[in-house]
Amino acid sequence: MPTTSTDLIAQLERLGGEFAAAIAPLADEQSIRAAQAQYLGKKGQVSDVMKELGRLPPAERPLVGQAANKVKDTIALAVEERLGALAAGRRAADLARAVDLTLPGRPVGGGHLHLLTQVRLELVEIFAEIGFAVAEGPQVETDWHTFEALAIPKDHPARDMQDTFYVADEIVLRTHTSPVQLRTRQTHTPPRRIVAPGVVYRRDDDATHSPMFTQIEGLVVDEGVRVSDLKGVLLHFVNRFYARLTGGAGLDVRLRPSYFPFVEPGVEIDMSCGFCRGAGCRLCKGSGWIEIGGAGMVDPDVFAQVGIDSERYTGFAFGMGIERMAMLRHGVNDIKYYYEGDLRFLDQF
Ligand code: FA5
């Protein structure tokens, strides 16, 4: 008997009707997709019916094509509905599972501030207690602010002490926080007391030196500021910062003549060793003193650079390494521990 379009349409409609029943017992996506392929795939039952299309008079073919499209839609819809029903079933089962609301919660491991951040905030607080405000400056800095205006011209040997990363011709990664002194003096008239904590960069790398580290700069400009004021501020600082280590026993500060081009006189700051109370130990190399930074009275020429009257105003500045201060207080023996992100180290603080 010749195939008619009515036969083919009936077969297609039957397939569409069968499909939903065929997948009703299937309980996972993989078998549902396999069933879908059995109907709609290249060798599937719908394709088998469509192979007969060629035997029909051309005028009847579009009707069968339409019926085939309808079947495909019916099957796709049935797949979607079945998968949706399975997902809803899973959700309901999850919700139905007994939940004991009285059980204590699982502890969530909280983070905390990095040791260097903790120390930086603490330093700022200690200086704030005696009237210092916080100032900031850019890490990518001009050569002028970093060196020239601090009396360190291009051929000055002091540039060798701070091996520099250059970003462009006259632009550097600041090698110290001292440029913030200048920026503050440019924007604020005296009297002024600031601390400037921040990241600095040098071509340096060993157990106590890192190419990126943090310093805290201090600057006081006022009438009648003297070296004894500098020493008083430093004494306040070391005794507050290291109090936990020394159990409150007083630490001393010693200013040793040194050279920084932008201060006169320049000094190296030493504090008495908190570990051996000055008796001499491995940490202080037997000397009883530990170096913590540089300082000095601001050179009148440097004041002149930013238009401050050095007949009327005097000032002091200091700069200390934050990593080094934290190493001393917390017994950290390699500067790299700060930057490696190892939780076994970080979680101790
Ligand atoms: C200076 O940087 C001067 N700007 C300090 C200063 C400020 C002097 C104001 C006078 C007036 P110095 O290069 O010594 O000085 O560095 C200060 C401190 O930074 C050092 O004592 C040390 O604690 C720390 N430091 C220096 N280089 C490194 C480094 N590569 N890694 C870690 N800490 C460092």
The pLDDT assigned to 279 comes to 84
The pLDDT assigned to 112 comes to 93
Q: Is 294 in the pocket of ligand 1 (CB under 6 A)?
A: yes
Average pLDDT (6-31) is: 91
Q: Is the pLDDT of residue 2 over 80?
A: no
Average pLDDT (321-340) is: 91
Model confidence at 284, in pLDDT bands (50, 70, 90)? confident
Q: Is 218 in the pocket of ligand 1 (CB under 6 A)?
A: no
Quote the percentage of the chain above a pLDDT of 70: 99
Q: What is the pLDDT of residues 250-275, one digit of tens each?
A: 888 999 999 999 999 999 999 888 77
Average pLDDT (96-115) is: 87
Average pLDDT (277-287) is: 83
Instruction: Look at the block and give the residue holding tokens 């959700």.
Output: 91
Q: Is 313 in the pocket of ligand 1 (CB under 6 A)?
A: no
Q: Which atom of ligand 1 is nearest to the CA of 204?
A: 30
Among protein residues, the one with the nearest Cα to ligand 1's atom 32 is: 209
Among protein residues, the one with the nearest Cα to ligand 1's atom 31 is: 209
Q: Is 16 in the pocket of ligand 1 (CB under 6 A)?
A: no
Ligand 1 midpoint to CA 174 (Å):
12
Q: Which atom of ligand 1 is nearest to the CA of 266?
A: 10
Q: Which residues contact 191 (CB under 8 A, 6 or more apart)?
A: 221, 222, 223, 313
Cα 186 to Cα 42, 82, 295, 302: the distances in Å are 80, 74, 20, 11
Which segments within 135-191 are labelled E, that is strand? 140-142, 166-168, 171-173
Q: Is 192 in the pocket of ligand 1 (CB under 6 A)?
A: no
CB of 289 closer than 8 Å to CB of 153: no
The pLDDT assigned to 147 comes to 94
Q: Is 82 in the pocket of ligand 1 (CB under 6 A)?
A: no
Q: What is the pLDDT of residues 64-76, one digit of tens each?
A: 999 999 999 999 9
Model confidence pTM above 0.75: no
Report residue 144 CA to chain centroid gap. Answer: 29
Q: Is 210 in the pocket of ligand 1 (CB under 6 A)?
A: yes
